[in-house]
Structure 1
């Protein structure tokens, strides 16, 4: 039994805490008068004028009018709210426009409220909800992950046709997405670049589209552990991805395994090829291998670059709760795939992509993430590499130096 003194001490502590608690201020008005005039001042009215100027419409929402209406028709049933006797609900059109402006400009809620005529508190609910709806309606058709051998082979055919790399299942990379320090998180998201981040891991197909995005690893985890923290790696390591078995390459008698390509931030594996390190470039064969791997891998760099250039949210530190950042990032990646498929010519022009001058052996750089708040993963330490993994890379090296060569490759290793 507690003594009387103990009981009195607890009661006293409760009263002391209550006195320290700051009383919530009563609202003087329910809603500011200018926020109630959305139909008059909102940027939705500007869109009506921009219909006459297609290029400006596209710059405003990162898509043309017909593509926007298609997207609105898909998400409206999910984000539409019912009017009440107290007030009218914010229409799906206003919600989607505000969300696309948030993604395309990187402006914070407090700034965006003056053009959307929606309070920052409401935007804090609307934008994550709409992002989640965008990802939900787009992922099935525009964010497909291969689930059979035939689907993986279809991906590989594109790499072989466009990038002269047979049996390639995708180009992978990871990026640190800058965020503001969430309250009470300490150093959980603090990375080696001395800022706070979460990591986006992605695999891109031969058409610059994401076939997989895994977001949420906190920036404090070593870059070498990014791949291992994904569900993709667990399935890859346990042979659960239905990846095709080794087959003979077209126009060759050589049997090669199906592989992913990556940079030096990832481990060399029998199913993952990366370039030789600089110290190992002692022969023309090793240099050719590096050129061919890098040529296929540049796709993922351009894909991230296009994503960051079109959705300027990646040029700022994302200042929302980490649990809600995932919906923002995944919606942006889904929109990238959606626009690459429905309006590629207007979404990304020629300057977005790396272009090779095969005669001179030079490359005109396309878009990348160097001028954004996205940070590359660090190079991985050598660690232990299996003999089997080294043998696979050597087999590809021999193939690229012989029957798999392309006429211009020697121009890029001089």
Structure 2
């Protein structure tokens, strides 16, 4: 995949944002209210952001395009091409199918700005009910298409050893295979969720756990734990942590530190969380 418009770090951060949004959407209950067809919605090609503003930014201000959607026009066109076979819909007698570029632009703008569906409805001239329906589909298609390429977790001793070498070279810290941390992502309280998602910061959330290498690139992302789970509970639900604890992650054998004769296990660094064992 040609990602000349984004650095690896930017690409991975973008994918993490998609993962978090997708997880949020899966936990929302109910659907947006139906909106009757309105005349101003039919003027999308004349006044909508996708058909007007984005086209101007594409031609005249590439940096503005990136600021608006967080990606350059070249990557946007690539994404449209790759996602179209997955999400393309057929025209019906009642209406024309919305083009992939429009759905992708609305989704990326939501990720970039956090604008709610009502705001996006007016700027892109797409009904709120349509936005509510297609944003989760676009997010999932992005995950399925790009995750295997830009976020590969090491599985063999050789791959983990390469990560450790880069950390040792840049940070002078040895036998380390990554830095682990978590982030609370705010969500609306799920129906019937009780206190399950209510965290110690006093808001409802889900937690995604990430493992990063020496260049701040994500090697692994887990979006599954409820915000109400403590550090121990969050770690227990993390697939990577379970694999390491059960000696199934493929970590290298213990190795001596420089100028030392005592073998030290390969390990992960983290902030103040319950200790983990690199061996079962």
Q: Normalised by the shorter chain, which TM-score bucket?
A: 0.7 to 0.9
Counterpart pick for 2:216 among 196, 208, 211? 208
Counterpart pick for 1:133 among 125, 138, 141? 141
Which residue of structure 2 lines up, in the alignment, with residue 3 of structure 1?
none
Which residue of structure 1 lines up, in the alignment, with residue 44 of structure 2?
38
What SS class does the counterpart of residue 174 from structure 1 fall into? strand
Provide the rounded CA distance (Å) in 2 between the counterparts of 1:64 and 1:31: 33
RMSD of Structure 2 on Structure 1 (CA): 1.9
Provide the rounded CA distance (Å) in 2 between the counterparts of 1:245 and 1:63: 41
Structure 1: gaps spanning 5 or more residues: 1-26, 273-414
Provide the rounded CA distance (Å) in 1 between the counterparts of 2:147 and 2:117: 26
CA shift for structure 1 position 270: 4.0
Provide the rounded CA distance (Å) in 1 between the counterparts of 2:200 and 2:256: 43
1:88 aligns with 2:89: no
The C-alpha deviation readout for 1:330-377, integer Å capped at 9, x for no partner, is xxxxxxxxxxxxxxxxxxxxxxxxxxxxxxxxxxxxxxxxxxxxxxxx
1:117 aligns with 2:117: no
Counterpart pick for 2:240 among 232, 244, 258? 232
1:143 aligns with 2:151: yes
1:186 aligns with 2:184: no
The C-alpha deviation readout for 1:90-148, integer Å capped at 9, x for no partner, is 10000100000000000111111111111111111111110101111111110101111
Structure 2: gaps spanning 5 or more residues: 1-33
Which residue of structure 2 lines up, in the alignment, with residue 275 of structure 1?
none
Number of paired residues?
Answer: 244
Provide the rounded CA distance (Å) in 2 between the counterparts of 1:93 and 1:270: 47
Counterpart pick for 1:220 among 228, 238, 244? 228
Provide the rounded CA distance (Å) in 2 between the counterparts of 1:120 and 1:171: 40
What SS class does the counterpart of residue 94 from structure 2 fall into? coil
CA shift for structure 1 position 30: 5.0
The C-alpha deviation readout for 1:54-95, integer Å capped at 9, x for no partner, is 221110111112122222222222122111111101100001
Counterpart mapping for 1:8-407 below 5 A: 31-44=37-50, 45-51=52-58, 52-249=60-257, 253=261, 255-264=263-272, 266-271=273-278
CA shift for structure 1 position 243: 0.6
What SS class does the counterpart of residue 65 from structure 2 fall into? helix
Larger C-alpha radius of gyration, 1 or 2? 1
Provide the rounded CA distance (Å) in 1 between the counterparts of 2:117 and 2:277: 47
What SS class does the counterpart of residue 89 from structure 1 fall into? coil
Provide the rounded CA distance (Å) in 1 between the counterparts of 2:162 and 2:40: 54
Provide the rounded CA distance (Å) in 2 between the counterparts of 1:71 and 1:164: 38
CA shift for structure 1 position 249: 3.9
The list of structure 1 runs, each at least 4 consecutive aligned residues, that deviate by more than 6 angstroms after superposition, is none
TM-score where L is the length of structure 1: 0.56
